[in-house]
Amino acid sequence: MAELVREHAALDKRLTQALLNLEIADSSNRTLLHEFQESRSAVARLSAQSARSTGWEARLRTLEQERDDINEERKAQSARARAVETKSVALTEQCGALLPVC
């Protein structure tokens, strides 16, 4: 009978230890699952930000190209304006040379 009591006590101790280990494993599992869900949310958020960033980069390249085109157009207009001004001065001088001074 005493041996049965000792065996029962040993089994009870093993059961208590197994239950404790199970609780620890379950707690660890819940923690890991929570961290996994947070990581999944972070990946989804970063993916969305990356997609928006790609759109911004494309828009930036388009705007930079438009800016460059406008600058080229401005330079061409400025060159045309200088040419017209030069021609105007030359024609004014020719008119002055052709007309008698009053």
List the domain boundaries for the chain: 1-97
Total count of residues recorded for the chain: 102
Q: Enter the DSSP assignment of 99.
A: S
Q: What are phi and psi of 11, to 5 degrees?
A: -65, -40
Please state, in angstroms and rounded to a whole number, the distance separating the CA atoms of residues 20 and 102. Answer: 119
Instruction: Record the pTM.
Output: 0.52
Backbone Cα Rg of the chain: 43
Task: Give, for all 102 residues of the chain, the pLDDT tens digit.
Answer: 888 889 999 999 999 999 999 999 999 999 999 999 999 999 999 999 998 888 899 999 999 999 999 999 999 999 999 999 999 999 999 988 887 665
